[in-house]
Structure 1
Amino acid sequence: MKLPWMSRTDRRAWKSARTIEDLGELMARWLEGTIQSRPGYAARYGPEDETTALVPSLAALCRAGAITTGSQPGLTGPGANGGWWTQRAWVDLVVTDRALLDRLVAIVTAGGMLVRVHDHHRGAARSTDDPIVATTCDGKPTMAVGSRMRGVDLALEWEGLHRSLVAQVTHGWQVSVVAPQAGSAGNWPLWDLLDEVSGLRDPAEDDWGTFDVPDPGECRLCGAPIYHPGPYCSSACRTADEGDPADDVVPR
């Protein structure tokens, strides 16, 4: 049985943090499993199983100064309730450095991602952008991201940090980045773009190109050869693969 409180060692580690660099390192370590607990999350629990594949990208963002506070991969499929669920890939971040914020927004916007930024500096104008629906069940919205959090809620999320660090993270920019497409089709561009922001990926070293102009016989959405047995990148990809026997095509 897991104890419902943070260990003394973890409490001391979070309380000792003074800078965004300190906070980013601790958040990265929690994502990687070397710290059991983090502020604003159930004590002695790590990330959800669906986050496992995202940990390298999220940890790199944290160490670069863009502190991740929530995320999900893009998925589509049946849920436990029997409904059809769709998820857009997304990530919520706290950024306190203006140059990093500008770089982040420029890269993900150029890559076609949806972005919401809320400036919590004292006296800053409030954003009027609506939240973005991130999850649906049978076409009905079940979760949205990108809404503005109240200052009191931001402080509660970081309870246990030194007050000077709480002041830094609660008076920065709260950023949400969301893939425009639901399902796995949104994973590739979102996480690659975020890896570029963190420095985990150098786009100059990429040699795979893009799927903007597919070759004959390739899915326009994910680049996979048409008439293959799956998995499909989305329901649209599956639909595109139906209705043609293609007897002379060997499945992969």
Structure 2
Amino acid sequence: MPAPTEARASRQAVVHIVGDWQHWLDRLGLKVPRALCGAYLAAEGPDDGPDQDAPVCDRCERRASRHSLAELVRARCANRRARAATADRWAEAATFEDLCGLTAQWLEGELAFHPGGYDEPDPETTELLPVLADLNRIGFLTEASQPGATDPGYDGAGWQQRAAVQGYVTDETLRRVLALTAQTHGLLYVVHDPSDRIRQDAVVVTTRAGRPYTVFGVWLPPSNTRMTYGSWCSREIGAVVNQAHQVTLIDPEWGREDVLWPALTELLQPHAD
């Protein structure tokens, strides 16, 4: 059984109690006239954590540093493997339905990144993720989305948002259902035919300090598809996306959150498992 060792930490002598020494010191009523190492203080079993308020000896600090570095290396290696596997998944996509399914998986956190350059969805869409994933699974390849909001922004300026979603649709029946949903709930509906080559007027969906900041509904040229999928997916996939209708639904009222997304949830009910 190794004996206690002493070290210096934070200008205070610290005794590192190893193994059963603490138990026998307590049984014999002996008091160590220096602070005990926080890595072992009050630890009654191997699964007990360290005392965060107690000083830690140099030995344990070095061990913790090495342990943290090892964890960092393992995490980076795991992330690299996950990204490589994700890249393979995007490269293997052969149909529009494949893209929709992979986008749904990314929205649910099952893939390491999206070809558009995002590791994860924007935090503001967290509550929308289940609906967005299901929309992709029925054939609405979402390209952008946002909730309604009227709260001050991160910079303190006054921001306003309209709830909105835009993306690509190849199925004519789904496109008609989306149009009917927009008509039923009083939503703005913008659609671009694959043959469109004119940049139509966009709809402002976000303002900052009263000035337009973000627009939805504008026609997206083939270069947008190349920029999003070109580095990760096949050329054939890009051509398929460019032949899809571009569909946008927007709540006309600023800040409203209880119309567009509930309407889309209702649309999804027939497809629920």
Corresponding letter in the other structure for 1:166: G
Corresponding residue for 2:253? Answer: 181
Among candidates 161, 174, 181, match of residue 107 of structure 1: 181
Corresponding residue for 1:149? Answer: 220
Corresponding letter in the other structure for 1:29: Q
* Equivalent residues in 2 for 1:89-238, closer than 5 Å: 89-120=163-194, 124-126=195-197, 129-159=200-230, 160-183=232-255, 185=256, 187-199=257-269
Normalised to the residue count of structure 1, the TM-score between the two structures is: 0.71
Count of residues paired in the alignment: 195
2:97 maps to 1:21: yes
Are residues 170 and 198 of structure 1, via their aligned partners in 2, closer, same or farther at CA, if it must alter by over 3 Å? Answer: farther
Deviation string 1:116-142 (CA, Å, 9 cap, x unpaired) is 11112xxx2456741111111222111
Contact 1:116 1:129 in 2 (8 A): no
Are residues 134 and 29 of structure 1, via their aligned partners in 2, closer, same or farther at CA, if it must alter by over 3 Å? Answer: same
Deviation at 1:10, TM superposition (A): 0.7
Say which SS state the counterpart of residue 259 (structure 2) adopts. Answer: helix
2:131 maps to 1:57: yes
TM-align CA RMSD: 2.4
Corresponding residue for 1:30? Answer: 106
Deviation at 1:197, TM superposition (A): 3.0
Contact 2:206 2:214 in 1 (8 A): yes
Larger Rg: 2
Q: Which has the higher contact order (CA 8 A, sep 6+)?
A: 1
Are residues 140 and 173 of structure 1, via their aligned partners in 2, closer, same or farther at CA, if it must alter by over 3 Å? Answer: same
Q: Distance in 2 between matches of 1:6 and 1:148?
A: 34
Corresponding letter in the other structure for 2:84: R
> Identity across aligned pairs (percent)?
35
Q: Which consecutive unaligned segments of at least 5 residues does structure 1 have?
A: 203-252
Corresponding letter in the other structure for 1:48: D
Contact 2:251 2:260 in 1 (8 A): yes
Corresponding letter in the other structure for 1:98: E
Say which SS state the counterpart of residue 116 (structure 1) adopts. Answer: strand
Contact 2:199 2:218 in 1 (8 A): no
Deviation at 1:55, TM superposition (A): 0.4
